Chains A and B, each alone.
Chain A
Amino acid sequence: MIRKSAVEMAAALAKGETTSLALTQAHLDQIAAVDGAVHAFLYVDTEGALAQAGAIDKARAAGEKLSPLAGIPLALKDVLTQKGVPTTCGSKILEGWRPPYDSTVVTNLKRAGIVILGKTNMDEFAMGSSTENSAYGPTHNPWDLTRIPGGSGGGSSAALAAFEAPLAIGTDTGGSIRQPAAVTGTVGVKPTYGGVSRYGLVAFSSSLDQAGPCARTVLDTALLHEAIAGHDVRDATSINAPVPQVVAAAKSGDVKGLKIGVIKELNGDGYQAGVRTRFDESLQLLAAAGAEIIEVSCPNFEYALAAYYLIAPSECSSNLARFDAMRYGIRVGDEAGASAESVMNLTREVGFGREVKRRIILGTYALSSGYYDAYYGSAQKVRTLITQDFIRAFEKCDVLVSPTCPTTAFKIGEKASDPLAMYLNDIATIPVNMAGIGGMSLPCGLAPEDGLPVGFQIMAPAMQDQRMYSVGAALEAALLSKWGAPLLSQIPALAGSK
């Protein structure tokens, strides 16, 4: 049962073939069996999950009308608050913190009857592309335990690939949903900025952060998208408009007459041969399904990475000022006579990891008087240029596509000592965040040279998220009929796996 899609699990629940309690227990058993090797979870809420599952079973037995995903288990990225459940953001500085409130995403999940299994591992405060920056140790890619599961949401993507959960929540500031999805052979969507509330999402870079759905199929992802999206008065940047019809789009998967633009700058040199092979094959499949493929140019995308690594650190240097050891989190050096300032200095020294410190210092510099215009100001102008590139490109086509990442999953430790090499993983995902539009990654095969998953990225204009789901569903269906089984059926079995 744990290898099925959420839609299949929901059908089994509706028919009375299983219960949410049994389904939840099966996933808890799988976590107990494989998570020692994968380390997708930072915290497993056995008691809470079983209580939620029991309540859904009771409601179902009483004949209550339930939402489509009611009773289905989910893995929650540890950057979203859940009342009473430890929330660390992968950082020592929040060790032991139990938030006194639910994020809106969690409120919406609970309202939909989705069972939250626990909190997943991540790069500290979502800064990273490999989950190696977690203060609690790395997560391992279920395809090859010596490799990274992507980041920052590597725990959520690994949980899906290891059949520890059929649904997961991620957050995406520069690719943290899509890149982990790509390297684990799973599906992940960064909705339009403002499409899903950020209330209770611990902020890294507020103008870029966006929570979104992750799953193993496009339709499961769409159902989860619909469950968590919508306007929220508690988030001033939440869009007050109807949620795009993503479920209908995922069900139809119609791309006839649709124009798909291939971004010239996000292909070619620097992209692994096997990544390009699978990407090109996918384009042919979409063309065969009736889409028109054209090439478009986004000349300013080559500056996106540089602009991102000024804007995100600048915003993070400000956002992370709240970790001051006064109201929550750890406190270090609070001895008689110690000043508040020295306690702050010591706590932040001990509580933050290396990459977080690097970005806080970089952001502090980029925002400092005398350098502001040259760095942060210039980066904001590049952001305008990137948005204009997207606007021009979308005049010629309905969606844009590219490989999600330049390479497949690399080895744990391989890029840990070279921040710039690590940053390059996000070269194809960052432009989407800069413009605030939607982006999806779905699996498009294994690279012939290393047998590891490759991700196909689809980008749609703001609040046109349904277009990604139409194209994603069409490609998924074409690939499935080519392969005869989902890509994840090829994943090597983990020791002890159910």
Chain B
Amino acid sequence: MSSLSRSDVANLARLARIDMSDSELDALSGELDVILNAVARVQEVARPDIEATSHPLPLKNVYRPDVVQPSLSNAEALSGAPASEDERFRVPQILGEEA
């Protein structure tokens, strides 16, 4: 049984792109440990010969005809943007300062 340390949770939060305060990390690592121990029960019955189910419907790729459909106008697509400029989304810098 693995258990989650505070630094594990800090790493997961970094991967999930969520800043977390020290107190949040403390609380969460305790809670997650309890939850993980409870959900680990799935391992009791998950034998190797059992197939995994990822989805309730036995669907393969579902295609539609490759025909242009009406879509959002530029203004509509940008209507919820936190910031836009020159009819585009304006985003914070994506490269490091040295770049």
Chain A residues in contact with chain B, CB under 8 A? Answer: 97-101, 193-194, 207, 233, 236-237, 239, 300, 303, 306-307, 309-310, 317, 321, 324-331, 334, 337-346, 348-349, 352, 357-358, 360-362, 364-365, 368, 371, 374-375, 377-385, 387, 419-420, 434-437, 462
Contact = CB atoms under 8 A, between A and B. Distances in A.
A383 B92 contact: no
Q: Lowest 5 A-B CB distances belong to which pairs?
A: A436-B56, A328-B80, A331-B82, A378-B46, A380-B52
B15 interface: yes
A377 B31 contact: no
Interface in B41-56: 41-47, 50-56
B91 A239 contact: no
B2 A371 contact: yes
A344 B57 contact: no
Given A361-B9, A375-B39, A377-B52, A334 B59 contact: no
Interface residues of B, number: 55
Contact of A374 (B13, B18, B43, B51): B43
B96 A339 contact: yes
A381 B72 CA distance: 40
A99 B80 contact: yes
Residue in A193, A194, A303, A329 with the greatest tally of chain B CB atoms within 10 Å: A303
Interface in B5-23: 8-9, 12-13, 15-20
A194 B56 CA distance: 9
Contact of A346 (B4, B19, B31, B44): B19
14 contacts: A98-B79, A98-B80, A100-B77, A326-B89, A339-B97, A340-B92, A344-B17, A348-B19, A361-B28, A365-B36, A377-B46, A378-B46, A381-B45, A434-B56
Contacts of A349: 18-20
Given A340-B91, A381-B46, A436-B56, A365 B35 contact: no
Contacts of A385: 45, 50
Residue in B4, B17, B46 with the greatest tally of chain A CB atoms within 10 Å: B17
Given A352-B18, A379-B39, A381-B52, 11 more contacts: A237-B59, A324-B17, A326-B82, A334-B82, A343-B92, A346-B19, A357-B13, A358-B35, A361-B18, A382-B42, A383-B52
A207 B54 contact: yes
Contacts of A207: 54-56
B20 A378 contact: no
Contacts of B68: none
A242 to B, nearest CB: 16
